[in-house]
Amino acid sequence: MYRVAAIGGDGIGPEIIREGKKVLNAAGEKYGFDIDWQDFDIGADRYLKTGELVTEDELRELGKFRAIYFGAIGDERVVPGILEKGILLRIRFHFDQFINLRPIKMLSGAVTPLAGKGPADIDFIVVRENTEDFYVGIGSRFHGSQKITLSVERELYHAEFNLDIESDADELAYQIGVVSREGASRVIAYAFELARIRRKKLTSVDKANVLSDIYGLWREVFSEQAKRYPDVTTEFTFVDAITMWFVKNPEWFDVVVTPNMFGDIITDLGAMIQGGLGLAPGGNINPGGTSMFEPIHGSAPKYRGLGIANPMATIWAGSLLLDHLGEPRAAAAIVSALEKAIADGVVTRDMGGSASTSTVGDYVSQVMTRG
């Protein structure tokens, strides 16, 4: 029996989570385990009624679960950033989910915009550092002169900055990125271990030629870690270069490890070359704590309740969740079932089909049960 927390969230989130649960329950029936779901009412509707995003009591309750299954967040009635920072990033930071895991894998039958490329060419994983870099939340805008003290609290460190800024500009904005040695070390070590069980190649992304302090430390830590893994081939690439090579030669890559901001950008490019946002799952992982699994697309509020949202990314995120819980056979079977649904044309309209959200969930569940 596995206890899993579920947060449907906003827009199409509750619909796609419902289909994901359906498939994971079918996987449990097939492979001999049960899931005890606990739903949490966290999202825009409650925020608009009560002003609550995610409460301390809810964080304590969520901390009792190894895994959270998350739908989507975002609502046009709420100023952008409030829900995303107050719910999604709050959960990631609170549970120190320092790994963002993004498989960039083209499923059989899916369509890529890259001419001449297929499933054999597009099969790698991006390991994104998930709690540092420019997403630590240190920044502001001001006019004229200002003296300011900024601080950020993380499990690894407390960082404080005293700034005395004077500018002739009408207005000035700034954002501060932070990379710690321990923060870089732990995610890079995770990537090396992952590469070791795959094709033994690891690519590090940075921009150390320009942002030499913050990403110079990242590159230094990577080089030190590489000495512990002589069986893994390593390479460095700048972030602008890797966007070109993802498009031209995706077959070059096995595991890619990247700081937070660059990972945010290149994984969306990866999603498009693997077949689109409807086929892009993600995991926010703390190997020793509470992890969260979600599709990487948004809440698409205009499609809410229409039954046309693609649940495949959410179902695939459920596969990552099961793998994390120690059910690799069930996890692999879900990915195979998704490929079967694509091959049989049981897909939503964003993939050229006419199936409804629930039809896709039902079909993948049936494939799981009888497979």
Lowest mean pLDDT among 110-114, 144-148, 184-188: 144-148
For position 90, which CATH number holds? 3.40.718.10
66 and 201 together in one domain:
no
Residue 168 is predicted with a pLDDT of: 66
Residue 175 is predicted with a pLDDT of: 84
240 and 192 together in one domain:
yes
| Rounded average pLDDT over 213-221 | 96
198 and 154 together in one domain:
no
Q: Is the pLDDT of residue 146 over 70?
A: no
Residue 141 is predicted with a pLDDT of: 76
- What's the CA gap between 300 and 74, in Å, rounded? 8
Q: How confident is the model at residue 105 (pLDDT cuts 50, 70, 90)?
A: very high
How many other C-beta atoms are found inside a 10 Å radius of the C-beta of residue 141? Answer: 9
Residue 154 is predicted with a pLDDT of: 72
C-alpha pair distances (Å), 93 with each of 2, 98, 110, 314: 24, 8, 34, 22
| Rounded average pLDDT over 320-338 | 97
Nearest to 247 by CA among 128, 115, 127, 351: 115
pTM of model > 0.85: yes
Where among 248, 274, 300 does a domain terminate? 274
Q: Is the pLDDT of residue 145 over 80?
A: no
pLDDT tens for each residue of 13-23: 999 999 999 99
| Rounded average pLDDT over 222-247 | 97
284 and 331 together in one domain:
yes
Residue 214 is predicted with a pLDDT of: 93
172 and 89 together in one domain:
no
Residue 151 is predicted with a pLDDT of: 75
Count up the domains in the chain and report the number.
3
- What's the CA gap between 137 and 135, in Å, rounded? 5
Residue 152 is predicted with a pLDDT of: 73
| Rounded average pLDDT over 170-199 | 92
Q: Using N-to-C axis directions, what is the helix angle for 357-370 and 13-31, rounded to 10°?
A: 10
> In sequence order, which residues have a C-beta less than 8 Å from that of residue 131 and are 6 or more positions away?
92, 93, 96, 97, 98, 154, 183, 260
Q: Domain of residue 2: give its range.
A: 1-110+275-371
Residue 144 is predicted with a pLDDT of: 67
44 and 71 together in one domain:
yes
122 and 242 together in one domain:
yes
Residue 360 is predicted with a pLDDT of: 98
Q: How confident is the model at residue 186 (pLDDT cuts 50, 70, 90)?
A: very high
DSSP-derived pairing of the beta strands 201-206 and 255-258: parallel
Where among 246, 274, 302 does a domain terminate? 274
365 and 328 together in one domain:
yes
